[in-house]
Amino acid sequence: MRAHLREYFARRLDPYAGAVVEISRRLTGAAALAGGIISLGLLPAAPPTVPIGDPGWLLAALCVAGTLMGAVMTLRSRSTADWNALAAIQWFGLGSLAVLVWLTGGNESPHATLFLLWIVVSAACHPPRRAGVYLIAAAFVTVAPLSYDGAPLAGAGEAAAQLLVWIVMAAVANLWVVSVRSDRLQRILSEQHASTLARIDPLTGLGNRRAFDEAAASLISRTRGSGSSPLSVVVADLDDFKQINDRYGHLVGDRCLREVANTIRLAMRGSELIYRWGGDEFAILLEGSNHSAASAVCERLTEAITTACSTPDGAAIRVACGCAQLSDGMDTDDLVAGADLALMARKHERPASTPRPSAVTRLTRAETG
């Protein structure tokens, strides 16, 4: 039991994680509107003149007006009230209600039952620590009339029983809200994890084709918006990778792909825009790099992979790279196709290597054929 209580009241990095502030805005606004209207309706039956006479009307008017103003702040369609603003409105509601109870007779005031409204609303909006502080303050103002009504012990038992019921109701509301928010947070985290996995190549840990397409579209849009920063793409294709699979097996082929991916990571240290574009093809988005800079990246990658990666018999793994720079009218497919054409041209320049159609070329042939 003690462990559960410690967990319940434990400090959290984000105590409102999983909460939807818009729901709490509406709840707080509804409480302020209802509380303000009810208090206004009770004033003729319970005039706020008991302790200070006619000036009590002005004080009561300020309390009701402030409460209704809180309703306006939270219920308007473009409300930006955050958690602190909601807490301030709830504290004002509690304080103004305590003043109205004092003005209208203390224990005999019909306004006293409205304390429950604010107690439950606060418990349903805030995490346990914040709701607990509010509940302590609410308990104090609830029993405060016993001290200024002239008979401190009169009605003490009834007040204590009523307060206990209210505390239980607030605790139930807070427990339910904490549970709902925890479930919502777990669902959000699960969805985010699934979304991340859907964009990660499980073999190399790099982004996959889907992640590349999304990042490229975003960067193209941003590049066109800025109008000045260039954008280039590098496509790298392993030479004769099918022969590695056929000769040594797919497990060795997978190991080679991981080695190449790690080598590219090291060569492009600081960049997160590296992707496994296809089976043995990799793509790198170079934000802020023109064609000349992208060509230099191609040379660096070719040298790094040839030096660091090899087959089981010690033969260097060769790679061909091509690059293209974004120009007017290009979309993602055009940009990659331009880099792919450069890659094929680079392969044709190698007499010892037979050029193989890359993924883009194969896809284009399939669509046109």
**Domain boundaries, given as residue ranges, for the chain:** 2-194, 209-368
- 280 is a catalytic site residue: yes
Q: How many C-alpha atoms does 238 have within 13 Å on its Cβ side?
A: 29
- Flag the least confident range among 68-77, 104-113, 144-153: 144-153
Give the model confidence (pLDDT) of 315-353 as tens digits: 899 999 999 999 888 899 999 999 999 999 888 876 554
> Phi then psi for 206, rounded to 5 degrees?
-80, 170
Give the model confidence (pLDDT) of 346-366 as tens digits: 888 765 544 444 444 444 444
Name the band, by pLDDT with cuts 50, 70 and 90, for residue 153.
low
pLDDT value at position 260? 94
Point out the catalytic residue in the list 201, 239, 280, 340: 280
pLDDT value at position 107? 82
Question: For residues 59 and 65, what is the distance between their CA atoms, to the nearest angstrom?
Answer: 10
- Flag the least confident range among 2-11, 38-47, 84-93: 2-11
Residue 162 neighbours by CB under 8 Å, 6+ apart:
142
| Superfamily grouping for domain 209-368 | Reverse transcriptase/Diguanylate cyclase domain (3.30.70.270)
More confident residue, 146 or 255: 255
Name the band, by pLDDT with cuts 50, 70 and 90, for residue 171.
very high
> Phi then psi for 181, rounded to 5 degrees?
-65, -35
Residue 159: closest CA among 131, 173, 139: 139
Give the predicted TM-score (pTM) of the model.
Answer: 0.67
pLDDT value at position 154? 57
Give the model confidence (pLDDT) of 225-260 as tens digits: 777 789 999 999 998 888 898 899 999 999 999 999
Considering the chain, what percentage of its residues have pLDDT values greater than 90?
A: 65
Residue 269: closest CA among 297, 288, 234, 290: 297
